[in-house]
């Protein structure tokens, strides 16, 4: 992202992964890892705290792309939904449209 401070909305589909850990070993930060191997660091906030309870689950997230250090993709998550798969490879996922709690 350019350092001009411009923000753009971005929809991501990927797995929630831990990125930082506290002194007690519990995850304190997350990122969304997309199927094309993009990794988007989620900035701290209410929504990122809720994502901590959904580690290793696939989410569909509405985000705002933020500028960050060169080579680092950072996003603020506005909302997300957990993708729940029926368990059969060729079936479409059912989407839980709750607020991610």
The pLDDT tens digits of the residues spanning 54-70 come to: 999 999 999 999 987 77
Residue 1 lies in a domain: no
Domain hosting 62: range is 8-96
Residue 2 lies in a domain: no
Residue 83 lies in a domain: yes
Q: How far apart are the first and last CA of the chain?
A: 30
Global pTM exceeds 0.85: no
Q: Is 19 left (phi over 0), alpha (psi -120 to 50) or beta?
A: alpha
Residue 89 lies in a domain: yes
Domain harbouring 33, CATH code: 2.40.50.500
Domain count of the fold of the chain: 1
DSSP 35-63: TTS-EEEEPSSHHHHHHGGGTT-EEEEEE
The pLDDT tens digits of the residues spanning 22-40 come to: 999 999 999 999 999 899 9
């Amino acid at each position: 992202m350019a350092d001009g401070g411009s923000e753009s909305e971005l929809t991501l589909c990927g797995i929630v992964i831990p990125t930082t850990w506290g002194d007690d070993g519990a995850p304190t930060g997350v990122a969304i890892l997309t199927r094309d191997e993009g990794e988007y660091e989620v900035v701290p906030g209410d929504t990122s705290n809720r994502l901590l309870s959904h580690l290793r689950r696939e989410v569909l997230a509405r985000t705002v792309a933020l500028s960050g250090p060169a080579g680092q993709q950072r996003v603020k998550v506005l909302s997300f939904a957990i993708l729940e798969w029926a368990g059969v490879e060729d079936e479409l996922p059912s989407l839980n449209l709750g607020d991610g709690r």
